[in-house]
Structure 1
Amino acid sequence: MKLIIDRFEGEYAVVELQDKSMVNIPKKILPAEAGEGDIISIVIDKDETEKRKQEIQKLAEDLWE
């Protein structure tokens, strides 16, 4: 998913989604160098997600031993 930073308002970046709707994202979660007109990509890291699921499963199993 790609987002376009439209502008900044206070502590938020107003970004345009692919469907042309606008949402606010806290500036603190964006890279410091992000600016108006920049394109932001959001991706799902499937490898990291699977790794985290396995870690949580292991912790849950260890609780019951």
Structure 2
Amino acid sequence: MKVIIDRFEGGFALVELEDRTIIDMPIELIPEGAKEGDVLTIFIDEEETEQRRERIRKLMEELWD
């Protein structure tokens, strides 16, 4: 998914989604140095997701064994 930073207001970046709707994103989620007009790509990091699931699974096994 791609979003375009429309503007900044207070602690939020107003970003335009692909369907042209505008949503507020907390500024903490915006990469440092990003500015109005920049295009951001949001994606699911499948590799990192799987690594986290595996770590959690191992922790749960340790707790229940």
TM-score range, shorter chain: over 0.9
1:8 corresponding residue in structure 2: 8
Q: State the one-letter code of the partner of 1:43.
A: F
Give the unaligned 5+ runs of structure 2.
none
Q: TM-score, normalised by structure 1?
A: 0.95
Name the structure 2 match of 1:50: 50
1:26 and 2:26 are equivalent in the alignment:
yes
The total of aligned residue pairs comes to: 65
* Percent identity for Structure 1 against Structure 2: 51
**C-alpha separation in 2, matches of 1:43 and 1:35:** 20
Q: CA RMSD in A?
A: 0.7
Which consecutive aligned stretches of 4+ in structure 1 deviate over 3 angstroms post-superposition? Answer: none
CA distance in 2, matches of 1:32, 1:52: 25
Q: Offset at 1:56? A: 0.4
In structure 2, how many angstroms separate the alpha carbons of the residues matched to 1:37 and 1:20? 14
CA distance in 2, matches of 1:31, 1:49: 20
Q: Which runs of no fewer than 5 residues in structure 1 stay unpaired?
A: none
TM-score, normalised with respect to structure 2: 0.95
